[in-house]
Chain A
Amino acid sequence: MTGLLEAREVSVRYGSLAALDGVDLCIHDGQRHALIGPNGAGKTTLLNVIGGSARPQRGTVRFDGRDVGRLGPAARARRGINRIHQRPAVFPTLTATENVVVAALPRVIPRRRWWPGGRRRAAQHLAGPLLDQMGLTAVAAVPAGHLAHGQRRQLEIAMALAGRPRLLLLDEPAAGLSAIEVGRLVELLQALPRAVAVLLVEHRLDLVYALSDTVTVLRDGQTLAAGTPDEIRTSPLVRQAYADGVA
């Protein structure tokens, strides 16, 4: 059986620094996989390589059985790879609703394709429930630039979901959220359709253990360990790595 996403031997160098050094990652349809590791381990770089915004010097990325190494981020998004960024990225002068509409446009297919405005209306129908799920209904008409940090992050999650992802890349979705917002986020991610695969980068291990089926630990651009949350929790290697990181 082949995976939905298969990254093989991925290496990315920035000058003399190896941000990623021969990393393998395989994610199946609907799998919830977490990526953890200390600061600078290469987690965001790996998401960039998968999302298409960084090109690895070595290695291959296959998605849905096809080599997507030459595709840019837009083409990969249209194939079903959607992401949220470590620093929330939204369109500041557009309202929250418009943000979600724009994100939904490339993937919605209106019933009457030739009808002017049909695509936009279809996207609009999608935006309301998504904003509601993220608890953003009250600020739907507010320009995204005026939203609080946590709200912007939630908005970006709504945008990523609006793209109807098959693989959702989440770069520290809980960072900067209040306890209530984190609770809502966990609920939302647990309620995602089982077909959606998730690659979650997160520093909060309680969330990682709650949300993921499998975990990879990165350190200095290399895979330190991989396994189920329980295996990772008890792995002496991982404990050691984090102890070093904090010291």
Chain B
Amino acid sequence: MRGEVIRRARGGIAALVLVGLVVAPWVVDDYTTSILARTLALALVGVSVALLTGVAGMPTLGQTAPYAAGAYACAVVGSRVSDVGVVQLVVAAAAGALLAALTVPLVVHARGVIVLMITLAIGELVVIVLGRWRSVTGGTDGLAGIPAVRPFWGFPALASDQARYLYALVVVATLIGVVLVLLRTRAGLVLRAGRDDETRLRASGHRVAVHLSGAHIAAGAIAGAAGSLLVVAQQYISPADFGFDTSALLLLGVVIGGTASVGGALVGAALVIAVRDWLFGVLPGHAPLVLGALFVATVYLLPTGVNRARGRLRPRDAPAHEPVAHDQATVAEAHR
């Protein structure tokens, strides 16, 4: 009964937000529209963070890595091969998935705060590579002048900020829809079960590492697709778009939004990004300090990830948390 009311209210709010997002470019100026388009891309990365942190129980600071891989793949393809949006999206998602697949062995056997550290290192490594590999990435200058995207063969190039924003909105809404549907399937169920109790999942015969690898690669593909939207929105990218601050902000947003729900994660990510953009204006120069404080708060607040780590440190059936001494009296009595 109450659940039904809450579900309806949530559906209503989601519909309202969607309508607001559709009309937004006619309400605000072009500059804000392009910022909004970039925020949409980040929100999609936020979805991938929520998928890993909230649903699968693997808190991550490294989703900027597949995000960057997707963005650079899209930029290279967009400048040299094809200006068709679907092509760029598929290439970017594949690049993100590939990078995630390569890092699977590093990630899926670790848990909790250790995953945070490993994924953070991966993200930083990718930024360094982007800065050094000048022939492809343009080094720290980045890649500029990427031609405007055409959504599909035969479509005109999207010349205005409004058009590019709407393109990003359609892609983000579609992909979020796909994620929500997938989460209702067997895959989503098993991931949530693993987050709850990995040992129990194993005892039922599930290959937990395989599930986690799948989630990691899928999240990489989503972040990669988001990278292609960043390229569409900015027509310019540089390693600065994929720094540690972005990862920390997204994780913070997801944690604030309630790790277990994709909708909450979206709200949280949007909120945190808005606050950041506002803070950069109000407190010039102090942003790193604020971000540092936010990061400490993130790790501290992180509920699922830390729980999972704790659960792993204490094997079930270890004597330390055996309920209470068993009633030996019953045994003796039955014996008499």
Contacts and interface: CB of A to CB of B under 8 A. Distances in A.
Given A74-B207, A120-B186, A204-B330, A48 B196 contact: no
Contacts of B334: 204-206
Given A85-B316, A87-B316, A246-B332, A203 B201 contact: no
A221 interface: no
Interface in B165-211: 185-186, 189-190, 192-193, 195-197, 199-208
B315 interface: yes
Contacts of A107: 205
A38 B331 CA distance: 9
Contact of A89 (B186, B199, B208): B199
A146 interface: no
A39 B203 contact: no
Given A72-B202, A103-B204, A246-B329, A92 B186 contact: no
A159 B329 CA distance: 30
Given A102-B190, A203-B327, A120 B185 contact: yes
Given A82-B203, A105-B190, A53 B315 contact: yes
Interface residues of A, number: 53
Interface in B39-60: none
Interface in B257-316: 260, 315-316
A135 B307 CA distance: 31
B196 A94 contact: yes
A107 B202 CA distance: 13
A117 B325 contact: no
Nearest to B186: A120
Given A89-B200, A91-B196, A205 B260 contact: no
B204 A82 contact: yes
Contact of A92 (B196, B330, B335): B196
B199 A53 contact: yes
A99 B325 CA distance: 28
B328 interface: yes
A163 interface: yes
A82 B205 CA distance: 8
A44 B326 CA distance: 13
A117 B203 CA distance: 23
A6 interface: no
A83 interface: yes
B154 interface: no
Interface residues of B, number: 37
A73 B196 CA distance: 17
Given A87-B323, A90-B200, A102-B201, A203 B330 contact: yes
Q: Which of B195, B199, B203, B323 has most chain A Cβ within 10 Å?
A: B203
Interface string A36-71: 101110001000100101000000000000000000
Interface string A215-247: 000000000000000000100000100110110
A242 B189 contact: no
B184 to A, nearest CB: 10
B317 interface: yes
B80 interface: no
Contacts of A40: 319
A102 B328 contact: no
Contacts of B207: 74
A133 interface: no
A119 B190 CA distance: 13
A21 interface: no
B202 A205 contact: no
B322 interface: yes
Nearest to B331: A203
B317 A242 contact: no
A172 B204 CA distance: 18
Contact of A102 (B189, B323, B325, B327): B189
Contacts of A239: 335
A112 to B, nearest CB: 15
A78 B328 contact: no
B2 interface: no
Nearest to A45: B317
Contacts of A116: 185
A85 B316 CA distance: 8
A178 interface: no
B332 A87 contact: no
Interface string A164-189: 00000001100110000000000000
Given A53-B203, A89-B203, A242-B328, 17 more contacts: A36-B331, A39-B326, A39-B328, A73-B202, A77-B202, A85-B203, A89-B199, A91-B192, A92-B196, A117-B185, A175-B323, A175-B326, A203-B327, A203-B328, A205-B331, A233-B335, A245-B328
Interface of A: 36, 38-40, 44, 48, 51, 53, 72-75, 77-78, 82-83, 85-87, 89-94, 98-99, 101-103, 105-107, 116-117, 119-120, 159, 163, 171-172, 175-176, 203-206, 233, 239, 242-243, 245-246
17 contacts: A36-B331, A38-B331, A40-B319, A53-B199, A53-B315, A74-B206, A74-B207, A78-B205, A85-B316, A86-B323, A89-B316, A102-B201, A102-B206, A120-B185, A203-B330, A245-B328, A245-B331
Interface of B: 185-186, 189-190, 192-193, 195-197, 199-208, 260, 315-317, 319, 321-323, 325-332, 334-335
